[in-house]
Amino acid sequence: MNTEQYIVIDGLDELPDRERIDMVQFLVSIVDKSNDHTPGKIRLLLISQDLADMRKLMKTSAEILDLKTSDTEDDVKVFVDKRLERLKDRFDLSEQQTLQIRLLVLRGTNGKRNSTFAGAN
């Protein structure tokens, strides 16, 4: 049986530069070594803010996806609305309170990030 294993890591941009570089190099080396024996057995998905060092480390062995805020905006709205439905009942929030929270959360997500970088190997 040839099962694939997936390693998914988000938030690499939150690591200090040296740790991020070491981590990415280590993970890519695991995939490369695995590919020597069983190509495609281990797959790697790294998610980060778009940083030059991440692009450089991943450019030779990865497919790079650029995700803009607009790419995920609708999904974020659906998630926030579903979560707020539960919170509204749990904390007995009014419609106005719920709307204010929604606007603050969505404004916060839009202002915080312009793009996300995903490297898949």
| Cα torsion through 48, 117, 42, 27, rounded to 10 | -40
SS3 percent helix, strand, coil of the chain, rounded to 5, is: 60, 20, 20
Please give the Cα distance from 118 to 99 (Å, whole number). Answer: 32
* pLDDT at residue 38 greater than cutoff 50: yes
DSSP three-state, residue 36: helix
pLDDT tens-digit map of 67-99:
777 788 888 889 999 999 999 999 999 999 999
The DSSP call for residue 13 is: G
What Å distances lie between residue 64 and 48, 71, 106, CA to CA?
Answer: 11, 15, 26
State in Å, rounded, how far the first CA of the chain is from the last one.
Answer: 22
Query: What count of other Cβ atoms lies within 10 Å of the Cβ of residue 75?
Result: 9
Task: Read off the pLDDT band of 2 (50, 70, 90).
Answer: low
**Average pLDDT, stretch 11-36?**
90
Is residue 30 within 8 Å of 42, Cβ to Cβ? yes
